[in-house]
Amino acid sequence: MSLFTDISSEMVYPLLSLYLTTTLGATPAIVGIIEGIAESLASLLKTYSGYISDKTQKRKPLALLGYGSAGIGKLFLYFSTSWGWVLAGRVIDRFGKGVRTAPRDALIAEASQAGQLGHSFGLHRALDTLGAVIGITIAYFLFTRTEGQYLKIFLISLIPGMIGFGLLFLVKEKKAVSTGAKPHPLKGWRTLDPKLKAFFLVVFLFTLGNSSNQFLLLRAKQLGFEASDVILAYLVFNLVYAASAYPAGKLSDLIGRRTLLVSGYLSYGLVYLGFSLATDALLV
């Protein structure tokens, strides 16, 4: 399901900043506003979607709502005539992302064997990112063959999205086992282990400094990439991502999560430093 959904999403994602700036005449600031609003909505909704799925003990309906919203968002992109339509499409798409993420992760966790969470989530991430590789490859092929007809690619991206949505109906949810406890989002924060609170603070600071990949794609274009080459650069990024996700998940079961998390955050920081200092396409 995640494989097909990401094929659909990544057929669109690397084209958005190019479409906004070259076809609709939007500035990089507008790209930032669109991505900021959309991603903030997704982040905020994850908390309440997870809370609701705990309260109702039903994950699948929320996942269906989330994955269905992604398709509706792409329809807005297809009919877009200004950046406002793109904003609406991205908000609906990220609304779906925020609603589905926590219930989907709960479904994966509930279906996993003890001691193999890293294995399960690593496999999910690998298939999810493999979908991105396939989607970007299709986007590159269509972009070069249709001479940059963005709207046609947006429309075609609905096909794998519909397949992914249909596959969700085959997922069997475990019957809920009531613990008698009523979940409460704020009370839950107060009862968390101080070490976990510290980790959430680290995640908050990291996310504060982490920008949308759309800015990295715009930076690549700024340093001399043709539009089609920007798509290929994003393809290389996702190839490395897909190849490393599953082994990293397995490794975290063996050596612990913290070591890998620290090295991952450090690598990310160095990458952003590199993008700020880059002077030519090869460094990108």
Of 70-74, 115-119, 226-230, 262-266, the one with minimum mean pLDDT is 115-119
Name, in order, each residue with C-beta under 8 angstroms of 128's C-beta and a sequence gap of 6 or more: 2, 3, 6, 245
pLDDT digits (tens, 9 = 90+) for 79-90: 999 999 999 999
Which of 141, 100, 140 has its CA nearest to residue 124?
Answer: 100
Q: Does residue 93 contact residue 38 with C-beta atoms inside 8 Å?
A: yes
What is the topology classification, in CATH, of domain 2-171+183-277? Growth Hormone; Chain: A; (1.20.1250)
User: What confidence tier does 184 reach under pLDDT thresholds 50, 70, 90?
Assistant: low
Q: Give residue 205's pLDDT.
A: 82
How many angstroms separate the CA atoms of 105 and 195, rounded?
22
pLDDT digits (tens, 9 = 90+) for 79-130: 999 999 999 999 999 999 889 988 898 888 888 887 788 888 888 888 988 8
Q: Does residue 158 contact residue 75 with C-beta atoms inside 8 Å?
A: yes
62-100 burial, b at 16+ Cβ within 10 Å, e below that, comes to bbbebbbbbbbbbebbbebeebeebbbbbbbbbbbbbbb
